[in-house]
């Protein structure tokens, strides 16, 4: 086989697998060659598991090609927050540096049952905390467009593995933009589905609807394919949803262009956005308008949303991480400690206000999306920053008090439970990627993917990947 297999889309790989033009073993070999060529620069695929992958491939290859599932033996990367049986899974933490689980996460089980072959774990910050992918176990993941810059987080390893062609599909997770922001920073596509769309766990917080698992790829149609392979009801996950009547990919392939979208670059003044990002998002909106989509400037009222997000996020960290703080405080990074202690300091009054605010915001969002097909925003408030900056301190003259502050754009959408997707939109003058975020109505995953596929085609930026890592340049 040639070394060009890494350039193929996931859909093309699956087509060739089913036709018998390539085998799962061919694609695993291609992953290993590509990782050997580029991973040393970017540090995205931190725990390869090629032997396990080949064993899985040989089992699949005993079946007829049409019986090997939706992915038919396609290699995938799994974020190092989701256990994979027999594979070192660290959660980016020294506490679990030697952890090798016996049972895979439900999401991983679903992917493998649909013909996906896990080829390795992608890097993540400790427990997913922090929007820059680095940890004490594996170090930093670098942006392939400029390795002097960061890849965002917490799904930075997955985004970079996609952008450099190590895999065609990779899993991500998203609480406050952990999937959407890396997609924007690396010029790939990241989809935050509706809560319950991708069953996962079982977790300590089975009823949590803030954090979700979702697909990442290099284009929207590949994302839709991966979502089909991830989706389905599982009794262990009480908020999980059954698959849709029609596959997500089938709906997405219609590429139904929206009639009307609301543009909210700063969410009605809720967050600062840097000037290069504003310019690129406006250029993207102009392209959509020229393609016949009505663009109106409007936004729901997100004032107060970040206070609510801080409260609910803090509660989640207390539930998930308090015991680790008590037992292993010396091994946790300061951001995780801050999250837990902020949650433990919450009062019943603040928690109640947050719950009521979120309920009102949901109602306002539903009403807003009855007047507009979709909400369009930047996927992040800025373009990638130097790798040494662990979090964005300032944007457009506004200084952030903590590492969550700059995540207002994606975090506000998280509160609404609306599905959202980050799509590549362009590049700054110095070559840094910028993405747009398209937000759909609650449970409107299929319609959102169809609209996103049309917009992805209009903008025409996603075809710029995969790339070889570029030389590092200080900005």
Helices (H), 152-245: 156-163, 180-186, 220-230
Question: The dihedral of CA 354, 357, 363, 367: what is its sign?
Answer: negative
pLDDT on residue 1 = 44
Q: Which has the minimum average pLDDT: 33-37, 54-58, 168-172, 399-403?
A: 399-403
- Mean per-residue pLDDT of the chain: 96
Question: Which of 57, 72, 65, 181 lies closest to 119, judged by CA?
Answer: 57
Domain boundaries, the chain: 3-464
Tens-digit pLDDT profile for residues 102-138: 999 999 999 999 999 999 999 999 999 988 999 999 9
- Report the run of H or E that residue 61 belongs to, with start and end: helix 50-61
Is the pLDDT confidence value at 338 over 50? Answer: yes
> Are the C-beta atoms of 311 and 318 separated by less than 8 Å?
no
Share of the chain above pLDDT 90, in %: 95
Round to whole Å and give the CA distance between 255 and 136: 43
The CATH-assigned architecture of domain 3-464 is: Alpha-Beta Complex (3.90)
Rounded average pLDDT over 43-54: 98
| The pair of three-digit structure tokens given for residue 47, joined into one six-digit string | 């725990």
> Are the C-beta atoms of 279 and 313 separated by less than 8 Å?
no
Q: State the chain's maximal CA–CA distance in angstroms.
A: 63
Rounded average pLDDT over 209-227: 98
Round to whole Å and give the CA distance between 340 and 347: 14
Measured CA to CA in angstroms, residue 218 lies from 17, 183, 252, 456 at distances of 19, 9, 15, 11
Helices (H), 114-219: 156-163, 180-186
Unique residue bearing structure tokens 């080949």: 54
Tens-digit pLDDT profile for residues 60-96: 999 998 899 999 999 999 999 999 999 999 999 999 9
Report the 10 Å Cβ neighbour count for 397: 7
Rounded average pLDDT over 13-30: 97
Question: Which of 438, 403, 442 lies closest to 420, judged by CA?
Answer: 438
Query: Terminal CA-to-CA distance of the chain, rounded, Å?
Result: 39
Rounded average pLDDT over 291-317: 96
Tens-digit pLDDT profile for residues 410-451: 999 999 999 999 999 999 999 999 999 999 999 999 999 999
Unique residue bearing structure tokens 């800025």: 382
pLDDT on residue 233 = 97
pLDDT on residue 130 = 83
pLDDT on residue 2 = 57
Round to whole Å and give the CA distance between 447 and 453: 10
Q: Which has the minimum average pLDDT: 1-5, 21-25, 163-167, 225-229?
A: 1-5
Q: Which residues of 226-247 are buried (b: 16+ CB within 10 A; e: fewer)?
A: bbbbbbbebeebebbbeebeeb
Is the pLDDT confidence value at 28 over 90? Answer: yes
Q: Tell me the residue ranges of DSSP E strands in 230-351.
A: 260-263, 294-297
Round to whole Å and give the CA distance between 172 and 151: 13
Q: How confident is the model at residue 204 (pLDDT cuts 50, 70, 90)?
A: confident
Q: What is the DSSP string of 230-283?
A: H-B--TTSTT--PPPSS-HHHHHTT----SEEEE-TTTTTTS---HHHHHHHHH
Tens-digit pLDDT profile for residues 456-467: 999 999 999 999
């Amino acid at each position: 086989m040639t070394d060009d297999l890494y350039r193929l889309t996931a859909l093309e790989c699956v087509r060739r697998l089913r036709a018998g033009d390539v085998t799962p073993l061919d694609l695993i070999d291609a992953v290993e060659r590509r990782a050997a060529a580029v991973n040393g620069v970017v540090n995205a695929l931190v725990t390869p598991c090629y032997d396990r992958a080949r064993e899985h491939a040989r089992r699949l290859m005993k079946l007829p090609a049409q019986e090997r599932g939706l992915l038919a033996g396609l290699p995938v990367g799994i974020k190092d927050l989701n256990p994979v049986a027999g594979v070192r899974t660290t959660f980016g933490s020294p506490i679990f540096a030697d952890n090798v689980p016996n049972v895979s996460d439900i999401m991983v089980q679903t992917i493998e049952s649909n013909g996906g072959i896990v080829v390795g774990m992608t890097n993540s910050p400790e427990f997913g905390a922090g929007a820059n992918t680095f940890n004490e176990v594996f170090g930093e993941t670098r942006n392939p467009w400029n390795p002097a810059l960061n890849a965002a987080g917490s799904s930075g390893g997955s985004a970079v593995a996609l952008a450099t062609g190590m895999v065609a599909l990779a899993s991500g997770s998203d609480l406050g933009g952990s999937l959407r922001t890396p997609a924007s920073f690396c010029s790939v596509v990241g989809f935050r589905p509706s809560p319950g769309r991708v069953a996962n766990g079982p977790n300590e917080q089975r009823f949590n609807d803030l954090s979700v698992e979702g697909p990442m790829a290099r284009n929207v149609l590949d994302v839709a394919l991966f979502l089909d392979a991830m989706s389905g009801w599982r009794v262990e996950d009480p908020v999980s949803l059954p698959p849709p009547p029609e596959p997500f990919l089938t709906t997405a392939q219609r590429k139904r262009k929206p009639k009307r979208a609301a543009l909210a670059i700063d969410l009605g003044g809720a967050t600062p956005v840097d000037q290069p990002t504003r310019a690129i998002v406006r250029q993207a909106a102009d392209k959509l308008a020229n393609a016949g989509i009505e663009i109106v400037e409007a936004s729901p009222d997100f004032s107060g949303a970040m206070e609510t997000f801080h409260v609910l996020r803090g509660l989640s960290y207390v539930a998930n991480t308090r015991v680790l703080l008590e037992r292993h405080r010396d091994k946790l990074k300061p951001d995780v400690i801050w999250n837990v202690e902020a949650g433990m300091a919450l009062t019943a009054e603040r928690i109640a206000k947050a719950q009521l605010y979120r309920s009102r915001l949901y109602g306002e969002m539903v009403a807003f999306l009855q007047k507009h097909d979709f909400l369009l925003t930047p996927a992040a408030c800025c373009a990638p920053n130097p790798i040494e900056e662990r979090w964005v301190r300032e944007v457009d003259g506004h200084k952030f008090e903590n590492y969550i502050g700059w995540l207002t754009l994606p975090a506000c959408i998280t509160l609404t439970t609306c599905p959202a997707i980050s799509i590549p939109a362009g590049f700054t003058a110095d070559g840094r990627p910028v993405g747009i975020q398209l937000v759909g109505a609650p449970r409107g995953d299929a319609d959102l993917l169809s609209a996103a596929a049309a917009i992805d085609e209009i903008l025409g930026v996603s075809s710029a990947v995969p790339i070889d890592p570029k030389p590092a340049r200080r900005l």
